[in-house]
Structure 1
Amino acid sequence: MDRVRRKLKFDYMFCVEPRGLSGGLSLLWKSNTNINVYELCDNYIKANININNDLNWQGIFVYGNPVFQKRRRLWHELTVSNMSKEVPQAYLGDFNDILNQYEKVGIHPQPRIYLETFRRFVDDNDLIDIDLKGNKYTWFSNPRNNVITRKRLDRVLVNWKWLQIYQNVNLRASPAVTSDHCALILDTQQRVRIKKDFKFEAYWVEHEECKEVIQRSWKWEDGSRNCWNQFTKKRNRCIRELMEWSSRKFKRADKKIERKKIELHQIQEAAFFHATTIQRRIRNRIDKLRDETGQWIIGEANIMRLVERHFTKLFTSEGNRNLEECVTEIPKRVTREMNEELMANITDEEIKEAVFIMGCLKAPGPDGLNELFFNNTGIF
């Protein structure tokens, strides 16, 4: 194992020695991770873990015995010895069990007692199953009667406290290459938050100061003779001053929001409600898409470009676009006078009318200034 550790470029290692040619567990980690093993046996390693001086959590690395009776005793032992349900916990490994029938493909269904026993272990320890991305199954058998059995035996189970720390966790299965199991990759890194776009808030207009801030910033002149450039600069200055005013005026709103959250948590079973929301968010997140060549595209920017390219192509016509012969056979419905009216220059009054008949919160432009801004600030 020490040769394996060096080849994989890990700094430290802890092993539970095999019995003969079977069994054995290994835990390898790098120097940026602090691991303190405090309990072990043939089927699990328990350790306190700290990565990059972040929050501590308990990792229970599990190998479920292939024999059901021994596996059931293991689940009972782990449940009875779990005296730290209030600290962040994660159970990781090959459990040799599944939670539902759809996690297996094969000739025979999983016995019901197997499912119920494993589910009871998960429920008794208040654990949440992290959704798996990539391969649906993590283990496959040798062909039997020309049928390959596939199961999701490997997984990560965490409690609510752990999920609070790593809300953007990502679990994916890599392809099985030299083993009948797929390696699991657990990514706990926080996703980079996208900068929130500016939006003119409806509750701002309830404050007289808001109108004063807008009118003051809009009166600013830079001497530019280009009307569009002048409008753009005024708009940008207005947005900047509105954001500064809002941060000063409503700086204590975070405390009010926090109090309301506490009240909401008391009404709703906060742990279950929030955990369900986080789990659904993880399940719905798009981590990769397959392009027309069958290649997997990863990364948020690359996925957005792929989607844009797909719909651009979808709504772009192909082939001969000369429709003259078809058009000549269509009876005319638009007269010359109607066409001249349609092609006439747009007047300021038409623009103003179009803006002011919009719903107050409808169709904000890219700058975040909706109809409420134009209709209630007295500058137009």
Structure 2
Amino acid sequence: MDRFREALEDCSLTDLGFMGDPFTWCNNCHNSDGYIRERLDRAVADIDWRSRFPSYRVINGEPRHSDHRPIIVVLNEEEGAIGSQAAPAFRFEAGWAKEEECATIVENAWKLTVGPRAGSVEDAVREVAAELLDWSRNVLGDLEKRIKRARRALEECRRNTLDARTVAWEEILKYKLEKLEEQRSFLAPKSTPALIRKR
């Protein structure tokens, strides 16, 4: 560790600090006797970099399938903001068909476009697409809240005193979070080539 500190000093680098859990690595041991947590990873920069990006933030991210947390450096609040774009393409997601409500939503939306209100097939498909996207947003909105709660519970667990109960509870919470995220990726619309463009 002394050589690491010397290298930082020689290069005029300082630790940028962080938000989130202080421990960036754990050995993923399933019992408290062998469980180890450390702050191994960090973001560093020199004075020129810090003056160039004064509103930076460093976030110790969520480890998914690794024993290390990702170190995320956000340069400013606007980073990643994209100007106005065309409406996103609609694509029916196979995962939706496995949800009980999906067939009913499609049938009801289709019925709205037949009879006296009949329009083109394109109008009917557009109506179905709009209803499915609204439904998906509502389902995913609830799912996002559950994922946030699970992440918060996991972070709180990781900050607790290390004992057998905490290690076991962390494993349960990691599994729960992973399943919720799998469900989200299964239900969420993917950004792939469009079948229908919203107007």
TM, length-normalised to structure 2:
0.40
Larger radius of gyration: 1
- Answer 1 or 2: which has greater helix percent: 2
- Answer 1 or 2: which has greater strand percent: 1
